[in-house]
Amino acid sequence: MDPVDAYIGHDSPLFSGPVLALILVAVVLLRVIPLLIAASAIVKLYRFPVLRSLHTLLLIATGLIATLTLIDDTSLHQIVPAALRTSGMWSSLWIFAIAWLGVTWVRSAIKTRLRPRVLDIATLAAIAICALIFATAFMTST
């Protein structure tokens, strides 16, 4: 018996094939969301010169997410000490980065009234689709 199945307590997989495929789509969308936010911030830098500091901050927040993703997904994770990764500080840094990006993006979206519409609405749609996929996956897994 597989150790994961023994831990769960049953022999069936946690997610069915279609649900697992939906989760993979959500994972891809989670990678696309910061790219959409960065593209939107770059466009807004030129379109709204009065809000340049806000959109520069948005690019910095996106850069922090990109740096953390690069460290986690490549062999660069070795530069982060194991004590930092296991103490909860790494998770706290991720939570801070995601919250900072979210708050800054919402402030930008409100101040610019969702312009450019295509990029901001695509970001909103990607976030909503991810939320629906994860809710569906976890509701059907029990």
65's CB contacts (< 8 A; 6+ apart) are: 34, 97, 98, 101
Report pLDDT digits (tens) over 81-136. 888 888 889 999 999 999 999 999 999 999 999 988 999 999 999 999 999 999 99
Report pLDDT digits (tens) over 34-88. 999 999 999 999 999 999 999 999 999 999 999 999 998 888 888 888 888 888 8
**Structural contact between residues 123 and 33, judged by C-beta atoms closer than 8 angstroms:** yes
| pTM attached to this predicted model | 0.85
Handedness of CA 79, 85, 87, 92 (dihedral sign): positive
Q: What is the pLDDT of residue 9?
A: 54
pLDDT at residue 1 greater than cutoff 50: no
* Complete DSSP assignment for 65-108: HHHHHHHHHSGGGGGS-HHHHHSSHHHHHHHHHHHHHHHHHHHH
Q: Where are the domains of the chain?
A: 16-140
pLDDT band at 12 (very low <50, low <70, confident <90, very high): low
| Rg of the chain over all Cα atoms, to the nearest angstrom | 18
**Structural contact between residues 34 and 65, judged by C-beta atoms closer than 8 angstroms:** yes
